[in-house]
Amino acid sequence: MRTKTALAITLLVITFGSIGFYLLNTASFFFQKKSVNKPQALRIEGRQEDEEEKEEGGEKRRLYEWKMLHDPATGKIPRDAQRKDATLLSTIKARQSKAGFRQTINNTYTAAGPSQNGGRTRTVAYDMRNNGVMLAAGVTGGIYRSTDGGSSWTYVSPVSDVRIVTSLAQDPRSGFQDTWYAGTGELLGASAAYPNAFVPGYGIYKSTDNGLTWSKLSSTIISSTQEGFESIFDMVFNVQVDGNGNVYAAILSYIIRSTNGGTSWGLILNETGELENPDQNIENMMTDIVISKPGVVPVRYYACFSGRNRDRDTAGVWTSTNGAFGTWTRIGHSDQVAGWRAYNNGTDANGDYTGGWGKTVLAVAPSNSNILYVMYQNAFSASLNVPEADIFRADLTSFPTVAWSSNRGPNLQALRNGTTGSYMETQGGYNMLLAVHPTNPDIVVAGGVNLYRSANAFSTVGTFIGGLTSNTYSDPNTAIHVDFHSFAFHPTSPNRMVVGSDGGLAVTNDITAGTVLWSGLGNQYQTLQYYHIAIDPAPGSLTFGGGAQDNSTTYRDSKNFLNGSGLQPPTDANDHYVLIGGDGGAVALTSSGGANQYFFGSVQEGSVYRVFANGAASAISGDLKPTGSQSEFVTYFHLDPDNTNIMYYAGLNSLYRTTNATTVSAAGWTQMTGVASTLTSSIFSLATSRGTYNGTSSHLYIGTSNGRIYRLTNPRDALASAVPVNISPSLGMTTSSLVREIAVNPRNPDTVLAVVSNYGVVSAFWSGNATTATPTWQQVEGNISTASFRTCAIVTTTTGVEYYVGTSIGLFSTTTINGASTTWTMEGPPVLQGAIVNDLALRTTDNTLLIGTHGNGMFYTTIGNVPTAVPDVIVNDKRFITSVFPTIISNDINFRTGTITGIRSINLRVTNMSGQVLLQKTQAYQAGTLQLGNLSTGSYLLEIWSNDIRYKHLQQFVKAK
């Protein structure tokens, strides 16, 4: 969630991210490439942000995500959206796996990193037999596996299912240790669920080949399409396996067990009553379970329920010696333990909890099963210089007597940089890590936004060992991030500890050291979550940029422009520099054809920065945000990819323009007042017609959050007061539809594809006459209509036109637009199939397409087959269309095709003499008939275009009575 980059910025992240946050204001910025040796010239000093700003930023992020994804009919993001996505993905995969299926487009896709910068990681584990084998997973990233102790990783998640994995457990029995279980679903922190605030996972995976392949346990699958929590397996907080092979799952308000490897399940502990509407008081459903290490006696099981549980008699901590139903004893509660918060599940008018204890996590000492640690979220705020969690230690040596410590929560703090107090922040329970050293039960590590260690079970204040930058730990390659979720101790080296955070994986060889030294453990752990991406306009270049959720702005420097800047060189071709900081947003690149490159990146709340990449002369600008402008939480702007001094900035419903992007300052923009006076909602997409700028033949297309598409002609030279033309589809587009992306045919600005990201509405629209006064649109979501459409691209090749859409279930393509019957085919390797594809960037000079995912980093493909320059359009060539007849009709008009080779399809359009389009269709290059009997009497024009826009046939005709 919060990113700790070398920009010294920490902030919220919620897109499939989190609930608490740091907001960027005028924070410290400087370059980073996993290095702390940064030149001072690249630094801009600022200040830290306060808690109120963080909270405000979180609301803005959630609102941003809600605008993108909610169903206008309900005002909510459907709780079953991921389930429907998984069902659709499975259907698509099954269709394309059938014998004889032929893929029209069959590109080769290559991973582009970041190879060393991981994303949000909810769980990590070692194989207890072989410390070379590791598993790690997160939300939207899926499961990765390593066979070399984390030095490199391979994607192993099942393709046809959601990628929301939050816990892992191995069967500890000899002969059964190839068996693993993975729990799914995230209750707190799921930004894409605003205002629901959760993402269901719908079950538990199982692997019987040591994590190589996975399948969903049929006993945990729910087939109902009813919206809401209809399955207890919608949310799996933790999975554990005991020494008998029994599988335990902490789920919504229940602890359950399977004695047959997940074939069936039985109830162990639960609150009374049925599952309730989770729109309110969601924390009352949270549970946890831990089991003592195999071989350590006595065997103990521990489970807990949130103190905001609606059942007062269930809330608290329980224990058992065999885990069976009816054997559990409650040992931790406000009535039993001095200093424990009083039970209180009440909320105020805003729905905020007024007291009690919330999410609770447990940790049993591996070396002593009688020692248990309990950490729960309290109702405090770190902004008041108090920790947001309490922690207790329990000793069950004399059980049934339990020796509880006093509340050591006040000691969940430490000095940062030796002077500044840092207090445990849980961000509403989003990040809560609790770990006990394998051989020393007094060494405890507790994590929230930051990481704290104690050598005396937090009897005194802890030591600050990770998170925000500090001189109290060593992190030469900035491997450690913020927002801690998971940990794993090495099976045979007890001091070696791996932690998972919103920044991927980090490892220390000695968690007990006076100064803990961290290093990266994310090679090829490609899990970054991108909002927007950009590609270098120079042909053949593999320089890319991206704005990532909670992981700043990344720069794949294939031309080595930052060599000599004082930054640590990349370790491999897919290693990215991390620049600017904060939550990344829109990005852009000028051409690398010369000796340098300009790179534009952004952070939340509208700030834009320009990086000059030129060795030792590299520098970062001040904030370029247009003076007086406002922005959505994820900043958006558009640099004309073919004319890279022209940039347009989206300031909510206002548009700002500069024709000097490489030198512009905050005060140098022109506000397009005509746009502001016309638009009534935020701008979410901008697209320019491709090629060299050409006056009135150039266009800017604008997409908004209220279902509008506008066209501004000659946008570079137009008066600031110029009013854009509303060309929105008249059918299928609702006033709450958010136009997330617009693509323009590189060779014909008439052809436009636009996508809408909301669930429950028409998602894709195509027009072949977008530059006319009243364009006509086809609804082309076709066979993937239930997915969320995020991005699109149009690619012209020597053989025709290819269309691409990025969705919540992967990348899809087609070569034929055919209205509602348009058939989209899934693209890419398994890691791309099912990924959330948030953005596409096309370089037309060599048809290289860059793909930005929200959970699996970047990929690219070079499609090639770029058409040669088109000469003047050839009109009425008999080799193209030999004849159109009759020219005076009562019903039908016929046309006959000629003998020109290489034409794959033709576009036909009938207009009246005022230019209004009355009929439009695309078909194969062959003779045909148009039925026009419904036309009124009068004169009309038939246009027939070849798919390569080289040939055009015009024929005027008259409709008689």
SS (H, E, C) 64-125: HHHHHHCECCCCECCCCHHHHHHHHHHHHHHHHHCCCCCCCCCCCCEEEECCCCCCCCCEEE
CA dihedral 167, 170, 172, 176 (to 10 degrees): 150
Q: What are phi and psi of 193, to 5 degrees?
A: -115, 10
pLDDT along the chain (961 residues), means of 10: 32 25 28 33 33 49 86 87 87 90 90 93 96 93 95 90 90 98 80 49 92 94 52 88 98 94 94 52 82 96 92 94 96 94 84 84 98 95 95 98 98 95 92 97 97 98 96 93 96 97 96 97 92 96 94 95 90 93 92 94 94 96 96 94 96 96 98 97 97 92 98 97 97 95 94 97 95 93 97 94 96 94 95 96 97 96 84 80 94 94 87 77 92 92 84 90 77
Cα–Cα distance measured from residue 363 to residue 487, given in angstroms and rounded to the nearest whole number: 11
What pLDDT sits at residue 869?
65
What pLDDT sits at residue 572?
93
Domain 881-959: give its CATH code.
2.60.40.1930
What pLDDT sits at residue 949?
74
Helix (H, G, I), strand (E, B) or coil at 811: strand
Q: Give the number of other CB atoms < 10 A from CB of residue 827.
A: 24
Cα–Cα distance measured from residue 851 to residue 812, given in angstroms and rounded to the nearest whole number: 11
The residue ranges of every structural domain in the chain are 530-862, 881-959
Cα–Cα distance measured from residue 466 to residue 152, given in angstroms and rounded to the nearest whole number: 23
Distances (CA, A) of 924 to 239, 766, 867: 55, 18, 20
Q: What is the tens place of the pLDDT at every residue in 516-536?
A: 999 999 899 999 999 999 999
SS (H, E, C) 319-336: EECCCCCCCCEEEECCCC
For 149, counting Cβ atoms within 10 Å of its Cβ (0-12 exposed, 13-18 middle, 19+ buried), the class is middle
The sign one gets for the Cα dihedral 827, 828, 832, 834 is positive
Cα–Cα distance measured from residue 497 to residue 673, given in angstroms and rounded to the nearest whole number: 57
pTM of the model: 0.86
The two structure tokens encoding residue 581: 């900081």
Helix (H, G, I), strand (E, B) or coil at 609: strand
Q: Which residues are within 8 A (CB) of 518 and not within 5 positions of it... i.e. 6 or more apart?
A: 466, 473, 474, 475, 479, 480, 506, 507, 508
Q: Which residues are within 8 A (CB) of 59 and not within 5 positions of it... i.e. 6 or more apart?
A: none
CATH architecture assignment, domain 530-862: 7 Propeller (2.130)
Q: In what order do the strands lie in the sheet with 858-862?
A: 110-113, 858-862, 848-853, 837-843
Cα–Cα distance measured from residue 452 to residue 271, given in angstroms and rounded to the nearest whole number: 33
Same fold, 530-862 and 881-959: no
> Which single residue is written with the structure tokens 């190839």?
178
Q: Which residues are within 8 A (CB) of 170 and not within 5 positions of it... i.e. 6 or more apart?
A: 125, 127, 128, 177, 179, 180, 241
Q: How many residues does the chain have?
A: 961
Peptide bond into 830 cis (omega under 30): no
Q: Which residues are within 8 A (CB) of 451 and not within 5 positions of it... i.e. 6 or more apart?
A: 433, 445, 464, 465, 466, 467, 480, 484, 499
What pLDDT sits at residue 645?
95
Please report which residue ranges of 11-50 form alpha helices under DSSP H: none
Q: What is the CA radius of gyration of the chain?
A: 29
What pLDDT sits at residue 35?
31
Q: What is the tens place of the pLDDT at every residue in 573-586?
A: 999 999 988 889 99
Distances (CA, A) of 820 to 54, 458, 722, 766, 781: 44, 63, 35, 11, 6
Cα–Cα distance measured from residue 127 to residue 209, given in angstroms and rounded to the nearest whole number: 12
Cα–Cα distance measured from residue 535 to residue 493, given in angstroms and rounded to the nearest whole number: 44
